[in-house]
């Protein structure tokens, strides 16, 4: 069979058939289009406006004096807490467990007297201590304690009347501040395109191979190149549609500020080529549809969770960061974020060259291992 013959009409007809089959499979439509959008909506809502989050804070006032009441009012006026009083008669630890509270601040007895003594003596080296009863396993409690400490530091400064000796001024390496949702959306685009391309290639090819459909293609005018190109273009069309839907929802619901430029198309295309190529190799190696899907799972899940899709890889231990940097999806994530958030064309080019080299190698190997009927490579 001549591999250099390309039949545009056959490729077009195969793409149209694939798209019609796609719309008839409602489950596939859900996981390809709706599922990434649901992830964006859920995580975007959870982490929306974390910088200005108002925390629930329970306070047990054992002193019940003017000074302790002024402290509670000062925390309330910081606009970072919704204050809930806890009865002085309650056991704070048991109360926290019974009411599922992650933090209770206890103002001790003699708080006012100790405070007055220190202020009268102008002696601030040893502070009056508030007790924090907290659940170390609760999500976000560390952030809440950090915000509480900053609020108390500001109150301390106002009471002492002394400005801080040391202060810091943050300077961002980016041109603008970005929110978690703007970090999250490029990662979800990369993950969704990877998942759909890998599973689309593996499932379709393995199923058709197992049913003998691919063998029967040798009796038709379609060539191996026609077959591969039509599958790649079909996956690319669906990837563009899926990406467009995710971006439209992100702009409409969360008003994200992401740069849309040619790099977006480049990385989506490289994502498709890389993982369709990987899928073609797995189909040839595994042969059975179930085995091919299991092999795709084994490759996909580590990349999904370790490539920086949901959180920065810098949050992981050093050895996992090293492992993440050998995963191809890491460079799609990094490239998309460099292009869409930092607008750093040099960093985007560097990531594009790495994922492009990987895509070229696996795609050529995929072509070499793909057979139609009794065709030889």
pLDDT at 351: 95
Comparing CA positions, the residue from 324, 277, 280, 281 lying closest to residue 304 is 324
Domain hosting 87: range is 52-169
Angle at 269 between CA 264 and CA 273, to 5 degrees: 150
Domain shared by 39 and 60, yes or no = no
**Residue 161, pLDDT above cutoff 90:** no
pLDDT at 280: 85
pLDDT at 5: 64
pLDDT at 158: 82
Contact 62, 112 (CB under 8 A): no
User: How far is CA 32 from each of CA 64, 116, 229, rounded to the nearest angstrom?
Assistant: 59, 65, 20
Domain shared by 195 and 310, yes or no = yes
pLDDT at 1: 45
CATH number of residue 58's parent domain:
3.40.1710.10
174, part of any domain: no
pLDDT at 287: 64
Domain shared by 97 and 136, yes or no = yes
Say how many domains are in the chain. 2
Tell me how far apart the alpha carbons of residues 361 and 192 are, in angstroms, rounded to a whole number: 22
Chosen domain end from 169, 195, 216: 169
217-258 pLDDT tens trace: 767 777 778 888 888 899 999 999 999 999 999 999 988 889
377, part of any domain: no
Domain shared by 235 and 303, yes or no = yes
374, part of any domain: no
pLDDT at 376: 45
247-257 pLDDT tens trace: 999 999 988 88
Domain shared by 34 and 56, yes or no = no
User: How far is CA 134 from each of CA 105, 176, 297, rounded to the nearest angstrom?
Assistant: 9, 35, 39
Domain shared by 259 and 301, yes or no = yes
């Amino acid at each position: 069979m001549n591999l250099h013959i390309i039949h545009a009409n056959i490729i077009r007809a195969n793409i149209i058939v694939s798209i019609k089959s796609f719309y008839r499979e409602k489950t596939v439509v859900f996981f390809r289009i709706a599922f990434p959008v649901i992830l964006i909506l859920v995580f975007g809502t959870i982490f929306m406006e974390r910088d200005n989050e108002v925390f629930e804070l329970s306070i047990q006032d054992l002193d019940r004096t003017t000074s302790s009441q002024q402290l509670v009012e000062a925390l309330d006026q910081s606009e970072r807490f919704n204050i809930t009083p806890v009865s002085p008669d309650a056991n704070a630890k048991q109360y926290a467990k019974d009411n599922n509270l992650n933090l209770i601040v206890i103002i001790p007895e003699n708080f006012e007297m100790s405070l007055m003594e220190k202020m009268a003596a102008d002696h601030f080296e040893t502070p009056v201590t508030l007790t924090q009863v907290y659940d170390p396993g609760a999500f976000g409690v560390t952030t809440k304690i950090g915000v509480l400490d900053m609020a108390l530091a500001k109150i301390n400064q106002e009471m002492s009347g002394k400005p801080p000796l040391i202060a810091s001024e943050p300077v961002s390496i980016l041109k603008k501040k970005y929110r978690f949702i703007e970090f999250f959306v490029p990662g979800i685009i990369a993950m969704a395109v990877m998942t759909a391309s890998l599973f689309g290639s593996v499932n379709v090819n393995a199923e058709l191979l197992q049913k003998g459909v691919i063998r029967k293609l040798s009796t038709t005018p379609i060539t191996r190149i026609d077959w591969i190109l039509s599958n790649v273009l079909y996956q690319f069309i669906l990837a563009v549609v899926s990406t467009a839907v995710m971006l439209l929802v992100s702009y409409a619901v969360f008003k994200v500020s992401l740069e849309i430029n040619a790099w977006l198309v480049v990385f989506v295309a490289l994502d498709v080529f890389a993982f369709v190529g990987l899928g073609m190799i797995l189909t040839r190696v595994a042969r059975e549809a179930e085995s091919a899907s299991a092999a795709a799972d084994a490759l996909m899940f580590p990349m999904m969770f370790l490539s920086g899709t949901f959180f920065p890889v810098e949050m992981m231990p050093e050895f996992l960061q090293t492992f993440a940097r050998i995963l191809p999806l890491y460079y799609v994530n990094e490239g998309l974020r460099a292009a869409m958030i930092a607008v750093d064309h040099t960093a985007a080019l560097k990531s594009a060259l790495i994922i492009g080299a990987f895509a070229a190698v696996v795609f050529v190997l995929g072509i070499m291992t793909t057979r139609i009927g009794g065709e030889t490579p």
